[in-house]
Amino acid sequence: MVGKAAGNWRFKDKVLNDLVEVVTLNINSVSYSRAVSSLMTLSHFIREECDLTGTKIGCDRGECGCCSVLVDGKPILACLVLAKFVQDAEITTIEGISVDGQLTPIQESMVENGAIQCGFCTPSMVLNATHLLNTHKAPSKNQIKKCVSGTICRCTGYTKIEKAIEKVVEGRE
C-alpha cells in the first residue's frame, strides 16, 4: 500500500491513463495545439506543453496561488482549470504581459521596491496586480491587500509587494 512516489507524480500517471485529445489554446496571442490528456490541467499544459515555465506550480490544489494566469483578463488558478475547458478563452501568462520586451510599470516597481526574493510567487503577484491596476485607477490599501491575499509568499512578508503596487498608483496621480 505504501506509495513510492510523491502525490503529483501519481497524478501524472493518472492523467496519462486518460483519453488523449487535441487541445488548442490561445496563450499570449499564440495558438498552441497539443495532443494531451483530456483532463490535463491548464498549469501542466502551459509549463509542459508550451514550455512557458514562468507559471509556477506550488501545491497543485488551489492553495498557494502561484499558478495564477489571466483568463479573459481575470486571474484564475491554472491548477484548478482543465486546459480543454478554456479553449475559447484568451490566456495570458507572465511571459505575455510585457510589451516589446519592456518590463511593465508593476514589474519595474517590484524590482525597485525589493518585492522579489526567491521569486516563486512573483509571476502570480505581478499578474494579480496587473489585473487590479487595469480595473482600478486608484485602488485602496484594502483592495491592494485583497489582491495579494490569494498568493502565498514565504519570503517578503507582503509589505514590499503592497508597496510596489502603491508606488505604481502614486506614479499615476
Partner 1 sequence: MMNHSKTKLFMPGNFEEMTSTVKYLEKKGEKFQFIAGGSDVVPRMKDSKKNQGHMVSLKFLKKTSSITIKEDEIHLGSFLSLDQIASDSALKEACPIIGKVASMVGSPQIRNQATLGGNILVDNRCVFFNQSVFNKDFHHNCFKDGGSQCILVKGAKANDAISCRARSVSDLTPALLVLDAKLVVKSIRGERTISAREFFKEDGIAKNNLETDEVLISVIIPRLHKSVHYKKLTVRKTLDFPSLGVALAKNEQGFEVAVCGIFSMPMYFNFVFAGGKSLSSSMEESIKNVTSAAPVFKQDFFPPKYRKEMLGVYIKELFER
Ligand X SMILES: Cc1cc2nc3c(=O)[nH]c(=O)nc-3n(C[C@H](O)[C@H](O)[C@H](O)COP(=O)(O)OP(=O)(O)OC[C@H]3O[C@@H](n4cnc5c(N)ncnc54)[C@H](O)[C@@H]3O)c2cc1C
Q: What is the binding site for ligand X (CB under 6 A)?
A: 62-63
Binder among 54, 58, 75, 139 for ligand FES (CB under 6 A): 58
> Could you give the C-alpha distances from 12 to 24, 36, 38, 75, in angstroms and in order?
20, 12, 13, 25
Which residue, 40 or 169, has its beta carbon nearer to ligand X? Answer: 40
The verdict on 40 binding ligand FES (CB under 6 A) reads no
Q: How far is the CB of 79 from ligand FES (least distance, A)?
A: 3
How many Cα atoms sit within 13 Å of 126 on the Cβ side? Answer: 26
Say how far apart CA 127 and CA 75 lie, in whole Å: 7
Which residue, 76 or 132, has its beta carbon nearer to ligand X? Answer: 76
Helices 159-172 + 105-112 axis angle, to 10: 130
Interacting residues toward ligand FES by CB under 6 A:
57-60, 62-67, 77, 79, 116-122, 153-156
